[in-house]
């Protein structure tokens, strides 16, 4: 168990109540630097709400969120981004009319602005584009750099989102269903890519995902949510063996 004091990302006693409905209840967990944690749970369990509270688009009713030991509970999403937090969404947020390269360039540009304009936004020279093309090559999309993002398959759009994360310099990354809408034949390569990028960059990753088989293979630890509470937070092996977790999934095998 990661001490929440030393964790890259920590939430403590987090509760969220909206219009009298308890969406999150007393969630406490710490994610270590370089750890890949998957959040699973039945529909409506509170997984996306947890990401919303961590990224700052929702304020918790009670509890605390910390990034690298610094309290960000009341900080804006932009301030959290400056602390290295990045996020993808269930529905893609790409600029579909812009090229693949332009999408990554915008992320790099936003990073430049985040760091107080100490360096100019990347221009269009070959030298300025080199790191962007490296990120694209990393996810296997350099050959598609001049295509509109809207012409990519779902799987390639997810890869582009990873390139955007790389370009934005995020060190703590929240991925909301990165496999959603991806063809089953593209799942293994996307899974490998997430694993490789995470390992190479030593990023801390928290991933909400419904593909349980993928999760069990990829994650170092799995957080299981049920009715807004954290039911289990353990290694994939221990989570699979946990009778309470099986019950939460109505006896379905994990």
Ligand X SMILES: Nc1ncnc2c1ncn2[C@@H]1O[C@H](COP(=O)(O)OP(=O)(O)OP(=O)(O)O)[C@@H](O)[C@H]1O
Tokens of 158: 């997810």
Site string for ligand X, 47-86 (x = CB under 6 A): xxx-------------------------------------
DSSP helix/strand/coil, 75: coil
Q: Which helix (H) or strand (E) holds 14?
A: strand 9-18
Of 3-11, 46-54, 95-103, 215-223, the segment contacting ligand X by CB under 6 A is 46-54
181 forms part of the interface with ligand X (CB under 6 A): no
Closest among 224, 227, 229 to 243, alpha carbons compared: 224
Q: How far is the CB of 48 from ligand X (least distance, A)?
A: 3
8 A C-beta contact, residue 65 and residue 234:
no
30, 41, 63, 155: which one contacts ligand X (CB under 6 A)? 41
User: Which residues does residue 30 pair with via DSSP β-bridges, in sequence order?
Assistant: 10
Per CB under 6 A, does 146 bind ligand X? Answer: no
Q: Which stretch binds ligand X (CB under 6 A): 17-25, 92-100, 107-115, 162-170?
A: 17-25
Instruction: State CA 164 to chain mean position distance.
Output: 12
Spatial neighbors of 170 by CB under 8 A, at least 6 apart, are: 81, 84, 85, 86, 203
CB-nearer residue toward ligand X: 20 or 251? 20
What would the x/- binding string for ligand X be over residues 96 to 135, using CB under 6 A? ----------------------------------------
Two tokens, residue 78: 């932009």
Decide whether 134 or 213 has the Cβ nearer to ligand X: 213
241 lies in the site for ligand X, by CB under 6 A:
no
When the beta carbons of 18 and 78 are compared against ligand X, the nearer one is 18
CA–CA separation, 125 and 121 (whole Å) = 12
Nearer to ligand X, 152 or 225 (CB): 225
Which CB atom, from 2 or from 49, has the smaller least distance to ligand X?
49
Can you state the percent helix, strand and coil of the chain, rounding each to 5? Answer: 40, 25, 35
Q: Residues 36, 207: contact at Cβ < 8 Å?
A: yes
Position among 8, 9, 10, 23 found at the interface with ligand X (CB under 6 A): 23
DSSP SS3 for 122: coil
Q: By the criterion CB under 6 A, which residues form the site for ligand X?
A: 18, 21, 23, 41, 43-49
């Amino acid at each position: 168990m990661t001490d929440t004091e030393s964790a890259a990302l920590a939430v403590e006693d987090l509760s969220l109540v909206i219009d009298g409905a308890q969406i999150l209840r007393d969630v406490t967990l710490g994610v270590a630097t370089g750890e890949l944690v998957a959040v699973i749970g039945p529909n409506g369990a509170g997984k996306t709400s947890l990401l919303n509270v961590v990224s700052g688009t929702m304020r918790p009713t009670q509890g605390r969120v910390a990034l690298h030991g610094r309290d960000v509970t009341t900080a804006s999403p932009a301030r959290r981004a400056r602390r290295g937090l990045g996020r993808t969404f269930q529905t893609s947020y790409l600029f579909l009319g812009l090229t693949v390269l332009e999408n990554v360039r915008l992320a790099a540009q936003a990073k430049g602005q985040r760091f107080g304009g100490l360096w100019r936004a990347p221009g269009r020279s070959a030298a300025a584009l080199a790191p962007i093309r490296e990120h694209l090559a990393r996810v296997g999309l350099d050959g598609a750099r001049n295509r509109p993002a809207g012409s990519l398959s779902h799987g390639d759009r997810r890869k582009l989102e990873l390139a955007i994360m790389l370009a934005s310099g995020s060190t703590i990354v929240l991925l909301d269903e990165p496999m959603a809408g991806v063809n089953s034949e593209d799942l293994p390569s996307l899974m490998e890519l997430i694993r490789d990028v995470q390992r190479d960059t030593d990023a801390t990753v928290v991933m909400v995902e419904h593909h349980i088989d993928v999760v069990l293979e990829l994650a170092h630890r799995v957080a299981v949510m049920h009715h807004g509470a954290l039911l289990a937070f353990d290694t994939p092996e221990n989570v699979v063996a946990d009778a309470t977790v099986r019950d939460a999934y109505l006896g379905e095998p994990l």
